[in-house]
Amino acid sequence: MHQRQEMLATLRSKSNQMASKLNISYFGSRDSLLGVNITPAEAMSRTTGLDNQGLVGLQ
């Protein structure tokens, strides 16, 4: 029983590590796509007037 608890704790720890790495890489790529010093208003102004095809192209 103790061995299974250790295995579960190890899996939980690994999943938390993977989740934190994914979050860091997500925010890093988001900054590189939008620009580091861009405000939310500037990001919204880029999409003004775009149709669905333009929005997909922006992504």
The whole-number pLDDT of residue 56 equals 63
Which pLDDT tens digit goes with each residue over 24-51?
Answer: 666 666 656 655 666 777 767 776 777 7
What average pLDDT does the structure give for the chain? 73
The whole-number pLDDT of residue 38 equals 67
- CA 59 to CA 56: how far, in whole Å? 5
> Over 80: is that where the pLDDT of 54 sits?
no
Check residues 48 and 8 and name the one with the higher pLDDT. Answer: 8
The whole-number pLDDT of residue 24 equals 65
* CB contact set of 34 (below 8 Å; sequence gap of 6+): 43
- CA 35 to CA 37: how far, in whole Å? 6
Give me the DSSP letters along 19-58: HHHHHHHHHHHHHHHH-TT--HHHHHHHHTT--HHHHHHH
Taking the domains of the chain in order of start, what are their residue ranges?
2-58
